[in-house]
A and B are shown apart, each in its own frame.
Chain A
């Protein structure tokens, strides 16, 4: 059996989701190291697929059936690009998506790690066990590698602790949404029996000192009074 050369490419993923509802699917995939192209309509998705030849298509079918129609259109032209569909909970929706040609389906509730694991499994199945280079996430002048915990600001390496990196990824998975302290505690400190919101505040303060240009006037991580923190969504 021949040994496979370990190619180091970044798989491009076209994501169709209702961008008016936020970027939950695209943001989750970005934290998995995918090169994400996010579009809001089926027509734009069709053009993006034709233009960028993605390795994978991820379609959010929770709010409309445009995703399923696009899937049927892709299968009509015998496109071999695997499709992962995020569908509403319930057997009916899962079966409809799979019968329309989805290679895999995921329904809420799911965590970003599960979405990424399913996407990687589809890539492995479609293209073989190729190793790929994770795509860094850019937030202004900050660049974060989601898988290896490396980060840099203006090209200068920034050392993030595991908890700081976890907090940053938890916020990046839901850009534009205020993430509460309790949710951050549950995500980043699952081992902690007695939750304490001050722990989050302290780590956010340390994180800001490392990643913000002026940590007293934070531009990346904003405080939402009485709730928690948020990272602004990407601009279209």
Chain B
């Protein structure tokens, strides 16, 4: 049975220096918080305790993995990423990996509280940051189960091929740069030269018309 998210509890995944101040700001706002030991502890608590919010400090080593796991499993939790000030690259990576909003790591308790209030007063349509099931024509992708089927028949895709397909499906209609596709392959090491082979395999296996944008990346058209 799915856990119902509680708007009055939060998980904090942050460095030892930042976590206490985040916890006290949330506590002062009536939100009970727990500091997770690592990303596995954070994800386990989201699955079992159903907090309404997770604060993810991008300075923690596995912050991006945690964001991607929340998106892949379609976990019903609101994600606020804390990014280094004025680091546009980090902010864009956080949003690309499913964060609902970003705040600077250096923000004061007043701004943090206001941002958390704004996030929680507008509950999302389903709580999920991205769909768990994505249907494109006769191809069905289950992000959490890491499975793909075509016309109801399961396809056996190696990890890197699945990750590339999922990244393209999540950003349909837009160019997904080579670097982001490589970054999306979190279970295997992929080089840029291998991407062409991976895309060719995906075109053959799924029948999807993945378009190459020379020297930039790939697009999965919306129609």
Contact = CB atoms under 8 A, between A and B. Distances in A.
A129 B130 contact: yes
Contacts of B132: 1
Interface in B116-135: 117-118, 122, 124-126, 128-135
Q: Is the interface of B mostly helix, strand, loop or mixed?
A: loop
Interface string A25-39: 000000001000000
Interface residues of B, number: 45
Contacts of B125: 125-128
Contacts of B213: 148-149, 162
A91 B95 contact: no
Contact of B118 (A103, A113, A126, A162): A103
Contact of A3 (B96, B133, B173, B214): B133
A125 B129 CA distance: 7
A117 B89 CA distance: 11
Contacts of A127: 125
Contact of B114 (A4, A33, A99, A128): A99
A113 B88 contact: yes
Contacts of A131: 172-173, 222
B107 interface: yes
Given A129-B128, A131-B173, 14 more contacts: A1-B133, A6-B172, A82-B122, A98-B114, A99-B114, A102-B118, A109-B86, A121-B95, A124-B100, A125-B100, A125-B122, A128-B126, A148-B174, A162-B213
Interface of B: 74, 86, 88, 91-92, 95-96, 99-102, 107-108, 110-111, 114-115, 117-118, 122, 124-126, 128-136, 140, 172-175, 213-216, 219, 221-223
27 contacts: A1-B133, A2-B133, A3-B131, A4-B133, A4-B135, A5-B135, A82-B122, A91-B107, A94-B111, A98-B115, A99-B114, A102-B118, A104-B118, A105-B115, A111-B88, A114-B88, A117-B91, A117-B96, A118-B102, A121-B100, A125-B100, A125-B125, A128-B124, A129-B128, A129-B129, A147-B175, A162-B213
